[in-house]
Amino acid sequence: MKDMILKKFEEVFGDLEGVKVFFAPGRVNLIGEHTDYNGGHVFPCALTIGTYAVARKRNDRKLRFYSMNFENLGVLESSIDGLKPEKEADWTNYPKGVMWAFGERGFEIPCGMDILLNGNIPNGSGLSSSASVEVLTGFILRDFFGFDVSNQDLALIGQFSENNFNGVNCGIMDQFAIAMGKEDHAIFLDTADLSYTYAPVKLEGAKIVIACSNKKRGLGDSKYNERRSECETALAELQKVVEIKSLGELTEEAFEANKSAIKDEVRKVAKSDFLKKLLPNFLNEKIKSGIFTAIITEPIGILKRWLSIVPIPDTPPGAILFGEVNIAIPNENIKAPIAITI
């Protein structure tokens, strides 16, 4: 990969003088959907696939971008001055957004750059190619200009840029998992305070399989912002009757006692996102005690409660990581072996 992207950079930009090579991974989330912006827990891990960059500083204020994933767009030019989102800027709005966000934090970028990207994350796959580009840009800026920022800072800067430059109200999970990822580990992250624990994930002959549904995913053009808005509406209604900063602070008992404050059209959404916090809370104790037997997603309907997880002696055909879960659904109880489906 390195030789290929260096060769392409030389072809596009003329020579290799002053270049450096960078990489940022993609991510997959194992547990905790729509909880990262509700103050809940998530359990993502970084991937071996991601985004590669060849970059160098320029002697002027010009920015020149080229993506091997969008070669039909050619070289897209801009300036480090007056950064703003532009439709014609296409994918370069993501690295430009990070540059803008650094400026908002008081970090002055003194010169332009030539940047070539090549990613092996499938576009629209839900594996956070945009967050990978954001964190990657942060790596480049920190290295080139000596900015005093940690990897966690880079995650927060990436999230800020996506929220405020690109207009996607994402939570912190994607950028955090990418910036803070650790080999052979997932990250058990409390998004309320960004406390986290690295949990070993060594599968001993099994693999996490990421399946293609042929449904492209993009936060900006999906119902993601709508779902977040509904959760924020539910939170605002609840805050009239209970002192909380996020939905994730509620106990189940407190939610049941105060749910009438939520408007009917958003109550189901809020309930769903609150309940998705229950399983990570359970896993927290397993991780702390060194017992880690199963990773479970949500294959059956609208879940009201996760009750228990126990190992299954025999692996079902095609299972990746497996467990047995008691799921209480209105009018029925289901006890079923399940495997990760991502």
Q: Which residues carry out catalysis?
A: 174
- 95/78 Cα distance (integer angstroms): 11
What are the distances in angstroms from CA 283 to CA 246, 280, 291, 325? 21, 5, 9, 13
Helix ranges (H only) for the chain are 2-13, 93-104, 129-145, 151-164, 173-180, 224-238, 252-258, 264-275, 278-288
Query: What does the DSSP 8-state code read for residue 39?
Result: T
Report residue 245 as tokens. Answer: 């900063």
Judging by beta carbons within 10 Å of its beta carbon (0-12, 13-18, 19+), is residue 292 exposed, middle or buried? middle
- 233/239 Cα distance (integer angstroms): 10
User: How far is C-alpha 55 from the geometric centre of its chain's CA atoms?
Assistant: 24
Report residue 3 as tokens. Answer: 């030789």
Report residue 244 as tokens. Answer: 């909380």
